[in-house]
Structure 1
Amino acid sequence: MPRTPKFHRETALNNALKLFWRKGYHATSMKDIEEEMDMRPGSIYAAFGNKEALFKETLEEYSSLAEEEFKQALAQKSSVLQGISLYLRNIAVMTATCAPTQACMLVKTLLEFTPEDKAFSEPVQSYLEKFEQLFTEAFQQAQQRGEIGSSQSPERLGLLLQTNIIGLRTMARREIPRQQLESLADDIIARIIPAS
């Protein structure tokens, strides 16, 4: 039996990611998954395992994509702070136009499950901590370049950035105009980046 090309597996996973992102874990049925992925139940189980395993894989994929988006924004600018600002503005544009839902999939999952649901809550906590560390490292780099003062705490700024990103995505759920979201992104960067 020939192997399924990797492209098709990635396409199916991306479709599942969008479905879970839009509906959440509990509201998504196996029938929904079959239709969205255009796969039969046996093929889904063979390729991804059960619903829980598939969901966890989509969380991992979401985390990887979001991390890559942040790194790409930083790479496009000569200044770390300009890269962070671009990332925030990109969130405003993306949430207003093409995301399955404006809210962060990790935060939606965190709110959907109780801390006792460790099979789901612990991976999400781990991904969020990873992003906080990523933001902290960006501010450390900015500090090394002299973009922020040496008295500033990259750890505090990283956590503050994460908090504001969650807030920006939540505001996007209110379906406010894109221009207003972009202005909010500018306001966030202006308030959390201290003067050198």
Structure 2
Amino acid sequence: MVRPREFDEQQALAAAMHVFWEQGYEATSMSDLTTRMGIQRPSLYAAFGGKKELFETVLHKYADMSLSFIDKRMQNAVSVKEALRLYFQGIIEGVGGSNPDLGCLCMNTMVELAPHDEIFAHITKDFQLKLTELIQQTLEKGIRTGELSPSLNPVAVSRLLTISAIGLSVTMKSRPERSYVDSVVTEILTVLE
């Protein structure tokens, strides 16, 4: 008979997510994970598999949460331009009160693991595509409402904004001057004019 789990799986995943986010995949040890998750190694292996399988689960969860948060935040903005400004501002300030030095876990993985691991390349590419779709839908809404010019190419501009967001997220890890990144965001968003 299988014994029920003696820990909250979602809390354990959230703890693992924060360890990976703070330290990166390679620098995170199994001891780091079990300590923060509050479980023993056999429980970790039984529930999630090894470190790679745990990270894959965590990364999918993070991507879903992140995209949902971005979508909700952009949907609740008073205008399309404000929605995109808020999105970029969130990268600078650290969305949800997180430390902006941490960057985005998906984007960090894109840099650390995607070049060497097909699974993580696929997950991060999927994240990029879904983020681009969210931005494209926002731009199309702006064109429909007349806030943005009908001559704006939502496909090309959404790709440009996604790549700009990735670059900004990676840049934030080096703790740039706030005035520097604020001015960059202002310039990025001139594409909407």
User: Structure 2 length normalisation: TM-score?
Assistant: 0.86
Superposed, which structure 2 residues align to 1:82-97 within 5 Å? 82-94=82-94
Q: CA RMSD in A?
A: 2.4
Query: Contact 2:101/2:172 (CA < 8 Å) preserved in 1?
Result: no
Match of 1:120 in 2: 120
Q: Relative to structure 1, is the Cα distance of residues 28 and 36 closer, same or farther in structure 2, using a 3 angstrom cutoff?
A: same
Determine the C-alpha separation between the residues in 2 that align with 1:84 and 1:31.
40
Structure 2's unaligned 5+ residue stretches are none
Determine the C-alpha separation between the residues in 1 that align with 2:87 and 2:114.
30
C-alpha offsets along residues 6-43 of structure 1, whole Å, 9 cap, x if unaligned? xx322211111111122222221211111121111122
Q: Relative to structure 1, is the Cα distance of residues 13 and 89 closer, same or farther in structure 2, using a 3 angstrom cutoff?
A: same
Q: Relative to structure 1, is the Cα distance of residues 114 and 98 closer, same or farther in structure 2, using a 3 angstrom cutoff?
A: closer
Query: Contact 1:21/1:100 (CA < 8 Å) preserved in 2?
Result: no
Deviation at 1:129, TM superposition (A): 1.3
Decide which moves more: 133-142 or 104-113: 104-113
Query: Contact 1:132/1:159 (CA < 8 Å) preserved in 2?
Result: yes
The SS at the match of 1:147 is: coil
Match of 2:51 in 1: 51
Determine the C-alpha separation between the residues in 2 that align with 1:136 and 1:39.
42
Matched to 1:9, the amino acid is E
Query: Contact 1:69/1:87 (CA < 8 Å) preserved in 2?
Result: no
C-alpha offsets along residues 58-115 of structure 1, whole Å, 9 cap, x if unaligned? 11121122212212222322312211111211221117x6237433222221222354
Q: Relative to structure 1, is the Cα distance of residues 167 and 141 closer, same or farther in structure 2, using a 3 angstrom cutoff?
A: same
Determine the C-alpha separation between the residues in 2 that align with 1:169 and 1:11.
26
Superposed, which structure 2 residues align to 1:20-39 within 5 Å? 20-39=20-39
Match of 1:192 in 2: 191
Query: Contact 1:160/1:192 (CA < 8 Å) preserved in 2?
Result: no
Establish whether residue 168 from structure 1 lines up as the match of residue 160 from structure 2: no
C-alpha offsets along residues 109-141 of structure 1, whole Å, 9 cap, x if unaligned? 122235452122112211211111121111111
Match of 2:106 in 1: 106
Deviation at 1:183, TM superposition (A): 4.2
Aligned length: 191
Query: Contact 1:92/1:185 (CA < 8 Å) preserved in 2?
Result: no
> What is the percentage of aligned positions where both structures have the same residue?
27
Match of 2:145 in 1: 145
Deviation at 1:2, TM superposition (A): 5.0
Query: Contact 2:114/2:124 (CA < 8 Å) preserved in 1?
Result: no
Query: Contact 1:93/1:178 (CA < 8 Å) preserved in 2?
Result: no
User: Structure 1 length normalisation: TM-score?
Assistant: 0.85
Q: Relative to structure 1, is the Cα distance of residues 89 and 55 closer, same or farther in structure 2, using a 3 angstrom cutoff?
A: same
Decide which moves more: 106-115 or 23-32: 106-115
Query: Contact 1:73/1:83 (CA < 8 Å) preserved in 2?
Result: yes
Decide which moves more: 122-131 or 109-118: 109-118
Determine the C-alpha separation between the residues in 2 that align with 1:138 and 1:105.
23
Decide which moves more: 176-185 or 154-163: 176-185
